[in-house]
Amino acid sequence: MLLAIPAALGAQTSPDGRLGVEVRCDDGRPTYSVTLDGAQCVLPSALGIATDLGDFGSGLTVSHVSESRPIAADYTLYNIKRKDNHYEANERTYTFAHDGTDVLAATFRVSNGNIAFRYELLRSKGETMCAVVDDEATGLCLPEGTTTFVCPQMGEMTGFARTAPSYETPYTADAAMGSNGWGHGFTFPCLFRTPKAGGDVWILMSETGNDGGYPGCKLVNAGGGRYKVSFPSPKENNGYGSTGAQMALPGTTPWRTLTVSDRLKDIVETTIAWDAPAADRTAPDHEADSLRALHSRGYGRGAWSWIIADDASCNFDTQKQYIDFAARMGWESLLVDAQWDRQIGRDRIAELAEYGRQKGVWLYLWYNSNGTWNDAPQTPRNCLSTAAARRREMEWLERTGIRGIKVDFFGGDKQCTMELYRDILLDALDHNIKVIFHGCTLPRGWEYLFPNYVASEAVRASENLRFSQGACDHEATDATFMPFIRNAVGSMDFGGSTLNRFYNSHNAEGHGGGRRITSDAFALATAVIFQSPVQHFAMAPGNLTDAPQWAVDFMKQVPTTWDDIRFIDGYPGRYVVLARKSQDGRWFVAAINGTQQTLRLQVPVDMFGQAPTLTVYYDRPTDGPTPQSDVRQVRPGRRGTVEAVIPVNGAFVVTR
Ligand code: CA
């Protein structure tokens, strides 16, 4: 009954009725649009994919629209912003025909504040059982006046040793639409603010559920408010590998996600990156659940010499000193960075691992993902890029008692590289090895999909504070973007929170590295605000004597795994106030100021219950750019708040 189906295929709404999606098919071209409280905030935007079987973005008719059906998922993750999660959505599938044959289905799940949608390429053209996806029509069209908070995609085969792109560019707040970044579009996630009568609508677009069966996509601007999902550039991976997707039929794409709300709270607290893959699970997966629980027992804090003391510090004696430092801090691990194979050697790494084991400090070892796709000379190279080498390496890592690896310098976002991420994770899982990625893509639901996945860099991270004074000067402002964008959709390996004043091993001017402009309280605050279940902090052994005792004590007891999150206040690029509850029940409230003015706030402390006094880490302005930090006990005011006065480059942290 093809003709009975009208162009407008019925609106689909979230369980609370506020968020709506309308799918249409006009002149053979399918589109979707989004409303919040009845007002359109995403204009009709294209749907469809182009394949070697045909262009399924035009010439389509609607052959079937399913009933809207409620779906739900409950899941536990120890490595994201919230441990126990409940997801409820209304799901509807639209099937499209081309030349009278069903070829493509689009499934939309609409939950409170979030939309997830994906395509299924059907097995319908004769006996063909596989297809190549060359391009997507998928668009995001935003109303005039919308502003952007996005990271430009880096030019492929540029940057250090031709290792770009790697998601390491800065955000700009409230930039106009219409630009295409540095000519290559923007990396996910992308945040937009759409003005509306009575307030703004925030839209965070990202993608999730990529287990290696599809390239990592980005968003390119096609003029004005028109954006389009785009595949990697042919030049990534030194030109090797297809930019498209190879699929068995029927096959599904990853989920595209839109978090849509008039409150930034819903952006910061969203769990759609894990809700979507969790809801794909049709039956309990006890094995994955028990592996997640097993790996969660190995999360925690760690030391890392490279960020302060550079490549030269990757020697036996310094690493042994850092094991002692980690043990004194009560931290669980040490990250041994590049060149360990040459400067320490495998036999003495085994010695260090045994020394660490006796002190309760487990090792993570750095690897170059290379391969064949960049010029980064750091070793070990070629240990993880083929199955044979990888299996040998994982066996050695397990035998040596190594807890995890940090793999750096990936070649891009082509499907062949997404397969490599998956294969490293799966081979490591067999040997109980945890995995951190650096110089890499955004994780796309990997905290859920891979029980041994820890976190990815995919951010302009702490290394830039070592490389450039400009990054130090902007540290406070840059940090305020993270909870709203990058860290909202994935664990973020930032490697920050130093108490050194200078990023060098002398902790003094004239020895290279940037000068830290932010306060000591700021270092404590970002340890709470930046989320990763394993944090290798940038502290140095010298901080035991050259930093305030209260700051060192805080860093000894700050957790890295969280039961819950509560966004309190803020604006990306200006400031952020948020609270996290640790998995042992302690609350931490942290605020940072990225503006050029002193910030005065009433910070709610009701989460601490009837505590008579609270511990507050705070800042006072000085004559220079860096505030002076201190600690005091305060009594909550009668309204259940404490007053925070936060100078420029400063912070405010409350604990019990
Ligand atoms: Ca990097």
Give tens-digit pLDDT for 256-278. 999 999 999 999 999 999 999 99
Give the pLDDT mean for 301-318.
Answer: 98
Query: How far away, in angstroms, is 310 Cα from ligand 1 center?
Result: 14
Query: How far away, in angstroms, is 420 Cα from ligand 1 center?
Result: 18
Residue 623 has pLDDT above 50, yes or no: yes
Query: How far away, in angstroms, is 333 Cα from ligand 1 center?
Result: 20
- Predicted local confidence at residue 3, as pLDDT: 42
**Long-range contacts formed by 151-155: CB under 8 A, 24+ apart:** 151/181, 151/186, 151/187, 151/460, 151/485, 151/486, 152/181, 152/182, 152/184, 152/185, 152/186, 152/187, 153/181, 153/182, 153/184, 153/185, 153/186, 153/187, 153/218, 154/182, 154/184, 155/182, 155/183, 155/184
pLDDT grade, residue 2 (50/70/90)?
very low
pLDDT tens-digit map of 438-453: 999 999 999 999 999 9
Query: How far away, in angstroms, is 494 Cα from ligand 1 center?
Result: 9
pLDDT grade, residue 15 (50/70/90)?
very high
67 to 64, 107, 530: CA distances (angstroms): 10, 11, 41
Query: How far away, in angstroms, is 71 Cα from ligand 1 center?
Result: 39
Give the pLDDT mean for 543-565.
Answer: 98
Query: How far away, in angstroms, is 441 Cα from ligand 1 center?
Result: 11
Query: How far away, in angstroms, is 438 Cα from ligand 1 center?
Result: 6
Residue 389 has pLDDT above 70, yes or no: yes
- Predicted local confidence at residue 196, as pLDDT: 84
pLDDT grade, residue 1 (50/70/90)?
very low
pLDDT grade, residue 492 (50/70/90)?
very high
Residues of the chain with CATH 3.20.20.70: 459-494+503-532+558-656
Q: Nearest-CA neighbor of 104 among 274, 275, 247, 282?
A: 247
Query: How far away, in angstroms, is 641 Cα from ligand 1 center?
Result: 39
pTM of the model: 0.97
Query: What whole-number percentage of the chain has pLDDT above 70?
Result: 98
Query: How far away, in angstroms, is 645 Cα from ligand 1 center?
Result: 34
Residues of the chain with CATH 2.70.98.10: 3-288
Query: How far away, in angstroms, is 469 Cα from ligand 1 center?
Result: 17
Query: How far away, in angstroms, is 364 Cα from ligand 1 center?
Result: 17
- Predicted local confidence at residue 9, as pLDDT: 76
Residue 7 has pLDDT above 70, yes or no: no
Residue 20 is encoded by which pair of tokens? Answer: 């709506």
Query: How far away, in angstroms, is 465 Cα from ligand 1 center?
Result: 12
Give the pLDDT mean for 32-39.
Answer: 96
> For all residues of the chain together, what is the average pLDDT?
96
Residue 6 has pLDDT above 60, yes or no: no
Query: How far away, in angstroms, is 416 Cα from ligand 1 center?
Result: 20
Query: How far away, in angstroms, is 457 Cα from ligand 1 center?
Result: 7
Give the pLDDT mean for 221-244.
Answer: 97
Query: What whole-number percentage of the chain has pLDDT above 90?
Result: 95
Lowest mean pLDDT among 196-200, 256-260, 510-514, 639-643: 196-200
- The single-letter code of the amino acid at 286 is H
Residue 168 has pLDDT above 70, yes or no: yes
Residue with tokens 């110089």: 439
Query: How far away, in angstroms, is 458 Cα from ligand 1 center?
Result: 7
How large is the C-alpha radius of gyration of the chain? 25
CATH architecture of 459-494+503-532+558-656: Alpha-Beta Barrel (3.20)
- Predicted local confidence at residue 62, as pLDDT: 95
- Predicted local confidence at residue 11, as pLDDT: 79
Domain 3-288 has CATH 2.70.98.10: yes
Residues, beta carbon < 5 Å, ion ligand 1: 439
pLDDT tens-digit map of 173-200: 999 999 999 999 999 999 999 998 788 9
Query: How far away, in angstroms, is 411 Cα from ligand 1 center?
Result: 12
- Predicted local confidence at residue 4, as pLDDT: 42
- CA distance linking residue 159 with residue 167, whole number of Å: 12
DSSP state of 231: P
pLDDT grade, residue 125 (50/70/90)?
low
If one counts every other C-beta atom within 10 angstroms of the C-beta of residue 593, the result is 33
- Predicted local confidence at residue 124, as pLDDT: 80
Lowest mean pLDDT among 89-93, 125-129, 193-197, 614-618: 125-129
Query: How far away, in angstroms, is 168 Cα from ligand 1 center?
Result: 7
